[in-house]
């Protein structure tokens, strides 16, 4: 009974604190709260968010978004300080949140340097961070409060807003101010953010290298053997040539059949291919080859090379489509553009990494100077 009373009292106290901090966000105390918990960088970020929202939409929307952000932040801080949300509970949101921050920093840096920004990718990272944060926050606040998080992140994560933010000259001052403020606010996570940047840079370099190999000497076999190439070719065929797309599906089904080690499964799988691809689409293949293949399917078990001749015919047909049309298509040019964009993005990330390394050296030198001053003062 006494324990239940203590819990009830604690709950009432937390509710009272929530009310107080909620009221703070509707007064000038909101700035004081930000300054106390996040320093000048937090204040600057809030001002940038309000300024850009005003420019993009209107003052009323900006004011509402500011209130939403402040209310969510104050409640999150309160829940954390009262150990309602612990470090362990928040751990699942850490990686997507840091990845989002890293991507935003990268986008700001790229836009300031005049490089193109993939706003769709930035929007995706913001959505992932939103989903992770919402899962942590939702059980502990009322619906109208967790919806504030969704409303704010949906606005600032809108590709249209991000496009204006990263390209419109009118936002240049806010871009520069926001970049500095975000870097300052996240300084305690500098090592983690740097590690995230390095990891992403390596991954993007590998993707760019794969695209480069596919594009510079385009071959059907190479595209079919690579997940990235196969996806691009498959999407193009599905949109432009249903018959050849069906040939591609047939080739994939045959490749899967050939990997069947269980002899008892070969018959059913061969029959599935026969039923699916030897109907109205049999005209795509040589009739004699189809009959020979059907005879092979009737064996127990069907040989591994049952579809060898038909597979070769399908690949020949795909090769014609690939060489005559796909490599001249907008889809193929899109792969080239993606490769070039990746190269630009990797260069920007490597610049960011070098800048971080240089900053770390400067901080170390400053610390060494401070140590020397301390030694001098002790000596005197």
CA–chain centroid gap for 342, Å, is 14
**Residue 39: which region, alpha, beta or left (left: phi > 0; alpha: psi -120 to 50)?**
left
Residue 129 and residue 46 share a domain = yes
Residue 176 and residue 75 share a domain = yes
pLDDT for 5: 44
pLDDT for 18: 47
pLDDT for 186: 82
CATH code: domain of residue 315: 1.10.167.10
Q: How far is residue 117's CA from residue 253's CA, in Å, rounded to a whole number? A: 39
CATH code: domain of residue 116: 1.20.1440.160
Domain assignment present for 271: yes
CB contact at 8 A, 179 and 111? no
pLDDT for 342: 84
Residue 298 and residue 170 share a domain = no
Domain assignment present for 231: no
Q: How far is residue 75's CA from residue 35's CA, in Å, rounded to a whole number? A: 16
Neighbouring residues of 307: CB distance < 8 A, sequence distance ≥ 6: 254, 257, 270, 273, 293
pLDDT for 128: 95
Q: How far is residue 196's CA from residue 189's CA, in Å, rounded to a whole number? A: 11
pLDDT for 360: 52
pLDDT for 116: 87
Domain assignment present for 115: yes
First to last CA, the chain: 64
Among the candidates 301, 324, 347, a domain finishes at 324
Residue 133 and residue 278 share a domain = no
Residue 161 and residue 28 share a domain = yes
Output the tens digit of pLDDT for each of the chain's 380 residues.
Answer: 444 444 454 555 445 444 444 444 444 567 888 888 888 999 999 999 999 999 999 999 999 999 999 999 999 988 988 888 888 888 888 889 988 998 998 899 889 988 889 999 999 999 999 999 999 999 999 999 999 999 999 999 999 999 999 999 999 999 999 999 998 888 776 666 667 777 777 888 888 888 898 998 899 999 998 888 899 999 999 999 988 999 999 999 999 999 988 999 999 999 999 988 887 655 578 888 889 999 999 998 999 999 999 999 999 999 999 999 999 999 999 999 888 888 888 887 787 777 765 555 454 445 445 444 444 444 44
Residue 39 and residue 160 share a domain = yes
The DSSP element (H or E) to which 294 belongs, if any, is helix 287-297
Q: How far is residue 274's CA from residue 281's CA, in Å, rounded to a whole number? A: 11
Domain that residue 76 falls in: 11-185
Residue 113 and residue 254 share a domain = no
Q: How far is residue 90's CA from residue 348's CA, in Å, rounded to a whole number? A: 30
């Amino acid at each position: 009974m006494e324990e239940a009373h203590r819990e009830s009292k604690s709950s009432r106290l937390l509710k009272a604190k929530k009310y107080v901090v909620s009221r703070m966000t509707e007064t000038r105390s909101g700035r004081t709260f930000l300054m106390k918990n996040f320093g000048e960088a937090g204040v600057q970020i809030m001002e940038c968010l309000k300024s850009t929202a005003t420019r993009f939409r209107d003052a009323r929307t900006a004011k509402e978004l500011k209130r939403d952000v402040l209310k969510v932040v104050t409640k999150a801080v309160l829940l954390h300080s009262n150990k309602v949300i612990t470090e362990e509970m928040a751990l699942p949101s850490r990686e997507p949140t840091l990845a989002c921050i890293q991507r935003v920093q990268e986008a700001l840096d790229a836009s300031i340097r005049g490089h193109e920004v993939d706003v769709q990718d930035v929007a995706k990272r913001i959505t992932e961070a939103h989903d992770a944060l919402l899962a942590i926050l939702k059980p502990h606040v009322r619906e109208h409060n967790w919806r504030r998080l969704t409303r704010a992140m949906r606005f600032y994560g809108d590709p249209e807003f991000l496009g204006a933010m990263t390209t419109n000259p009118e936002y240049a001052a806010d871009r520069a101010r926001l970049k500095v403020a975000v870097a300052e606010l996240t300084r305690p996570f500098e090592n983690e953010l740097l590690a995230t940047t390095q990891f992403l840079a390596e991954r993007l370099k590998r993707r760019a290298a794969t695209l480069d190999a596919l594009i510079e000497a385009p071959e059907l076999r190479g595209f079919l053997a690579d997940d990235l190439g196969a996806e691009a070719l498959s999407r193009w065929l599905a949109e432009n040539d249903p018959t050849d797309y069906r040939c591609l599906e047939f080739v994939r089904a045959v490749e899967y059949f050939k990997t069947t080690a269980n002899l008892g499964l070969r018959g059913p799988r061969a029959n599935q291919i026969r039923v699916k691809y030897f109907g109205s689409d049999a005209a795509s293949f040589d009739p004699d080859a189809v009959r020979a293949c059907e005879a092979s399917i009737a064996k127990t078990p069907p040989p591994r090379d049952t579809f060898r001749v038909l597979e070769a015919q399908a690949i020949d047909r795909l090769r014609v489509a690939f060489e005559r049309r796909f490599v001249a298509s907008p889809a193929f040019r899109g792969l080239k553009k993606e490769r070039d964009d990746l190269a630009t993005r990797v260069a920007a990330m490597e610049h960011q990494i070098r800048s971080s390394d240089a900053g770390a050296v400067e901080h170390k030198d400053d610390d060494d100077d401070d140590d020397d001053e301390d030694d001098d003062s002790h000596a005197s």
